[in-house]
Amino acid sequence: MELIVGNIAFSTWSLRPWLVLKHCGAAFTLAEIPLYGDGWKARLAEVSPSGKVPLLKVDGETIWDSLAISVWAAERYPDAALWPDDAAARWLCRSVVCEMHSSFGALRTECGMGPDANGVIHTMVGDDRAEPPTSEAVAADVRRLVEIMTTMRARFGADGPYLFGKWSMADAFLTPVATRFRHYRIDLAAHGDQDGIAAGYVAALLRHPDFLEWTERAVTQGG
């Protein structure tokens, strides 16, 4: 089984299925196709039906899209409990994952990862930081994310530091968001996180051992 990803340092969509497969204990190799170098579009078109990463090559098939790969993993590794056991938590976990997959365009665009219009490369993994965003559209996205984090943690967080207590697919989908909050120095308290629940959750995602391994790979492989 092979997971094909974009630049480890800044491909946010690639991080999600990597975290999922690691959590499942899957045996897989990782291939990085750097985006934005010479001829990258052609290289990507050779392997990817959608022209995008991530992709999973398994059982003679190529599965594309981070959500499709993660759902495949939930099916293949039922013991990994990528969806919470509790029925209500499971339904809401799926809502969070789907909302994360389909929304938050302002945050993605204005707090982008990768090269910006000035050629500055923003990464999920480095110590460099960028100016916080100022638009109302991003503020609305951040307020909604804080609302998700605080309400789910308050309802379901008793069994651990993650969104539904134990680590689930929602955490894989929210880890890239945590890196945007860190890199763009977004003050969660100013977006409704009065008691620090969202900030504590974000910190838990950023110190998860699998995310730290991804960070280390970006450093050692040059991102």
Residues that bind ligand GSH (CB under 6 A): 6, 11-14, 35, 51-54, 65-67
Measured distance CA(129)–CA(219) in Å, rounded: 16
The residue (of 46 and 136) whose beta carbon lies closer to ligand GSH is: 46
- The token duo for 206 is 């950023």
| Closer Cβ to ligand GSH, 6 or 84, answer by number | 6
Q: How far is the CB of 83 from ligand GSH (least distance, A)?
A: 18
State the nearest-atom distance from the C-beta of 70 to ligand GSH, in Å: 9
Contact (Cβ atoms closer than 8 angstroms) between residue 16 and residue 66: yes
CB of 49 to ligand GSH, least distance (A): 12
Q: How far is the CB of 18 from ligand GSH (least distance, A)?
A: 12
Residue with tokens 């990507």: 44
Q: What is the DSSP letter of 83?
A: S
Give the residue nearest to ligand GSH (CB): 52
Nearer to ligand GSH, 55 or 197 (CB): 55
Q: How far is the CB of 2 from ligand GSH (least distance, A)?
A: 16
User: Of the two residues 54 and 84, which places its CB atom closer to ligand GSH in the complex?
Assistant: 54
Alpha helix segments (H runs only) across the chain? 12-24, 40-47, 66-76, 87-102, 105-110, 136-156, 169-183, 197-206, 209-220
In angstroms, give the least distance from the CB of 14 to ligand GSH: 6
8-20: b or e for each residue (b if 16 or more CB lie within 10 Å)?
bbbbbbbbbbbbb
C-alpha to C-alpha distances, 113 to 23, 119, 177, nearest whole angstrom: 24, 12, 11
In the complex with ligand GSH, the residue whose CB is nearer, 183 or 191, is 183
Kindly tell me which of 48 and 161 has the beta carbon lying closer to ligand GSH. 48
Q: How many whole angstroms separate alpha carbon 202 and alpha carbon 84?
A: 19
34's tokens: 């750097």
